Amino acid sequence: MTSGVPAVDLPAAASAPRPSTPAAAPPALLDRERAILEFNRRVLAQARREDVPLLERLRYVCIVSSNMDEFFEVRFADVLESARAAGAAEPTLQFAPVAADAHALIDDQYAVFNDEVMPRLQQRGIVVLNHADRDAAQRAWVDQFFQRQVRPLLVPVGLDPAHPFPQVANKSLNFIVRLGGRDAFGRANTIAIVKVPRVLPRVIRLPEAVSGGRQAFVLLSSVIRAHLSELFPGRQVEAFSQFRVTRDSDLEIDEADVANLRQALRSGLTTRHFGRAIRLEVVHSCPAELSGFLLSQFGLPDIALYRVNGPVNLVRLNQLIDQVVDVPDAEPAPPLRFPAFEPAWPRGLLPGKTIFARLRERDVLLHQPFESFEPVVQFLREAVNDPDVLAIKQTIYRTGSESPLMDLLIEAARRGKEVMAVVELKARFDEEANINWAERLEAVGAQVVYGVVGLKTHAKLLLVTRREDVGGGRRLRRYAHLSTGNYNPKTARLYTDVGLLTADPDLTADADAVFQQIASLGKTRPLRALLQAPFTLHRRMMQLLAQVEQAAREGRRARVVVKVNALTDAALIDGLLRAGRAGAAVDLVVRGACLLPPGLPGVSDRIRVRSIVGRFLEHTRVLYFAWGEADDEEALYLSSADWMGRNMFRRIEVAWPVRDPQLRQRVIDECLVPYLHDRLDAWEQQPDGRYRRVGDDTAPDTPRPCAQQALMGRAR
């Protein structure tokens, strides 16, 4: 009998058959946009936590800004476009409630920044000086910096019929200025625009000689603001404001109507920065006439205007975090950053033994960031250097502009090995990096394919084929790495993910079949172990939920635990609701948007939804089902796919079973159980879609277990 996953605080699974009752009407799903905003409220709450180091609190403020940029660039842009396509006369009015929530969230974000984080940093001697705060020596230094480093790059544009409103790039920093007096030609044109080049640093550290014994910084916007009048000699600067526009950033490419997708995307990248305007940010003191002028220029309604009490791009404050130096205080003080954490070497890999030799004995599970991602790099490095390795195949989704893995693939091709790279060119915001890698791989003779038209390749697969001596003869053996996360060593230190190194004949043969299908576009044999979207993954998940539902109706053990990043697919939500109504105990650990309303009496009262927001970004996808007590009445899968319609039907994804009993129990013990017991980083979803922090109502001396802290301790 398996140990399974505990039900935690849920009622025990049904012990007797439930009477047959008419199916309840399915509840309305929660609003997806509001679910995304709720997630960002949970992230912002991290910036309020007293137990989080100050610079990390500032980093969470920056993360919210980055997330909100993507919300407007992608999700809100898609929603507005859908409304326009449906013929809505005023599409923005349909989303006024969501926009109001976004306004409230951003207002709260700046309140946390101004009233909580920055005053505390100032107490620790870390200050951002406005012009009024700077003394004479500091002003002199800033003036010199402006004259030498900034002024030569600025081109103020006065607007008139010969100088139309300039093209303003997505998320760029700009100033709008109202001028008094007349220009050099005697005309009274009053509006000018100053575009700030992206090459300039947004946060500048003052040298120690003028910092007054503190770590002092100035923002580029403050530097330019103090010198605006110098840009318009003979004119009076009567009013001004920073501004920033967020644009629709989807690349509109008709894949079925282009001869070369890579070339089409490369061309599209040049126009991405100038898509349809979605949001306008100005400082809170911006005069109404200037903000109104900008709204009209960008074709935006009033609801798209966001007045912010501070810099219009808080994401750039990451530059301040990177420049702060940890200086011991005269008296002990809390650290400014999270304590350094060095991932452990995976326990399944032994020194002095090649990874290939280890995998011939048994599979190896890798749990990042608690364990190092380096074995994946070493696995590929061994394959490149091994003369018996004949072929290497890998999917590339988000690998970064610098990647040791891509360098190794290029080296493998140079050495004459058969290299196939499935490069996903449509990985949003990574298109340029992926195009560059594709061109470099092709230049050395690697076979590069770009997936399947209409589908993104989101599966994470690395397959190595090696010729080996077996029983006195030579034959081919495959080795593979399958992962829930990307082949990116940098994010592997920040995201929680699980990977499997394996020589399992079924898994490796299936991985090869997936690569063959992507390359040839032909039909493949039924896969032995892997589930693949868009073919079998969704169907198998629905079958497993139905098995759990039936077990609950028969009074047998019935349990579901799903850990994903998002849950939005209506059919899967219905399957979960049916299992819960039948008596199954259902736990969902969903980091981001979850559209299932839990806790509704008679509908979803046996379903609990949690979200974990901690030091690391929760990214692991783990799927657990039990429909009885026997070993063969339990299934555990790891997956690259979230439970969203796009992942199930518009992407190539894989999920694979964990069949080794020890590894299976380890996944349960590390990826599920700690998160069901977390009372520090956990939030619980309410029926209306709002979240309550778990453990906030407990006594101060009550232990509050933390999954991520426990896993870091376990790794050490």
Neighbours of 414 (CB within 10 A): 13
Report helix angle 261-272 to 431-443, nearest 10: 150
Residue after which a domain boundary falls, among 528, 549, 568: 528
| Buried b / exposed e along 49-70 (16+ C-beta atoms within 10 A) | eeebebbbbbbbbbbbbebbbe
> Does residue 647 sit in the same domain as residue 560?
yes
Whether 472 is covered by a domain: the verdict is yes
**In this structure, are residues 665 and 510 in contact, taking their beta carbons and an 8 Å threshold?**
no
Residues in the chain: 716
> How far is residue 359's CA from residue 343's CA, in Å, rounded to a whole number?
21
> Does residue 524 sit in the same domain as residue 538?
no
Whether 652 is covered by a domain: the verdict is yes
> Does residue 397 sit in the same domain as residue 291?
no
- Cβ burial, residue 325 (10 Å; 0-12/13-18/19+): exposed
Q: Strand, helix or coil at 163?
A: strand
Residue after which a domain boundary falls, among 494, 528, 562: 528
Q: 420 pairs with which residues across the strands?
A: 393, 447
> Does residue 42 sit in the same domain as residue 176?
yes
Average confidence score pLDDT of the chain: 90
> Does residue 552 sit in the same domain as residue 438?
no
Q: Strand, helix or coil at 30?
A: coil
- Among the ranges 38-42, 97-101, 432-436, which has the highest mean pLDDT value? 38-42
Grade residue 20 by pLDDT with cuts at 50, 70 and 90: very low
pLDDT at 61 over 60: yes
Q: Identify the domain containing residue 632 by its residue range.
A: 533-715
Catalytic, out of 163, 284, 458, 538: 458
> How far is residue 477's CA from residue 389's CA, in Å, rounded to a whole number?
9
> Does residue 228 sit in the same domain as residue 158?
yes
Predicted confidence (pLDDT) per residue in 150-195, tens digit: 999 998 999 887 789 999 999 999 999 999 988 777 777 899 999 9
- Nearest Cα neighbor of 353 from 340, 343, 362 is 362
Whether 454 is covered by a domain: the verdict is yes
> How far is residue 115's CA from residue 367's CA, in Å, rounded to a whole number?
38
The CATH number assigned to the domain holding 660 equals 3.30.870.10
pLDDT at 8 over 90: no
Q: 395 pairs with which residues across the strands?
A: 422
pLDDT at 456 over 70: yes
> Does residue 447 sit in the same domain as residue 583?
no
> Does residue 597 sit in the same domain as residue 491?
no
Whether 4 is covered by a domain: the verdict is no
Per-state percent for the chain, helix, strand, coil, to nearest 5 = 40, 20, 40
Q: Strand, helix or coil at 344?
A: strand
Q: What pLDDT, on the 0 to 100 scale, is given for residue 700?
A: 75
Q: What pLDDT, on the 0 to 100 scale, is given for residue 601?
A: 94
**In this structure, are residues 476 and 465 in contact, taking their beta carbons and an 8 Å threshold?**
yes
Neighbours of 138 (CB within 10 A): 19
Instruction: Tokens for 351, please give them.
Output: 């020194």
* Mean pLDDT of the region 139-148: 97
Residue 566 vs residue 353, higher pLDDT? 566
pLDDT at 544 over 50: yes
Whether 138 is covered by a domain: the verdict is yes
> Does residue 84 sit in the same domain as residue 179?
yes
Instruction: Please state the domain count of the chain.
Output: 3
| Buried b / exposed e along 210-226 (16+ C-beta atoms within 10 A) | bbeeebbbbbbbbbbbb
% of residues, the chain, pLDDT over 90 = 76
**In this structure, are residues 282 and 174 in contact, taking their beta carbons and an 8 Å threshold?**
no
Enumerate the known binding-site residues. 67, 398, 428, 495, 591, 619
Q: Of all helices (H) and strands (E), which one includes residue 143?
A: helix 136-145
Whether 19 is covered by a domain: the verdict is no
Distant-in-sequence, close-in-space partners of 590: CB < 8 Å, separation ≥ 6: 562, 563, 564, 565, 566, 567, 609, 610, 611, 685
Whether 440 is covered by a domain: the verdict is yes
Residue after which a domain boundary falls, among 528, 549, 569: 528
> Does residue 100 sit in the same domain as residue 236?
yes
> Does residue 375 sit in the same domain as residue 518?
yes
Q: What pLDDT, on the 0 to 100 scale, is given for residue 13?
A: 40
> Does residue 617 sit in the same domain as residue 647?
yes
% of residues, the chain, pLDDT over 70 = 91
Q: What pLDDT, on the 0 to 100 scale, is given for residue 1?
A: 40
458 given a catalytic annotation: yes
Q: 483 pairs with which residues across the strands?
A: 460, 499
Q: What pLDDT, on the 0 to 100 scale, is given for residue 357?
A: 95
Alpha carbons within 13 angstroms on the beta-carbon side of residue 414 total: 9
Predicted confidence (pLDDT) per residue in 461-520, tens digit: 999 999 998 877 889 999 999 999 999 999 999 999 999 999 999 999 999 999 999 999
Per-residue HEC secondary structure of 356-378 comes to HHHHHHCCEEEEECCECCHHHHH
* Mean pLDDT of the region 361-373: 96
pLDDT at 7 over 80: no
> How far is residue 518's CA from residue 173's CA, in Å, rounded to a whole number?
42
pLDDT at 117 over 50: yes
Grade residue 695 by pLDDT with cuts at 50, 70 and 90: confident
Query: DSSP letters along 525-562, please?
Result: PPPSS-EEETTTHHHHHHHHHHHHHHHHHTTS--EEEE
Enumerate the known binding-site residues for Mg(2+). 398, 428
Whether 86 is covered by a domain: the verdict is yes
* Mean pLDDT of the region 199-220: 96
Q: 624 pairs with which residues across the strands?
A: 561, 636
The CATH number assigned to the domain holding 82 equals 3.30.1840.10
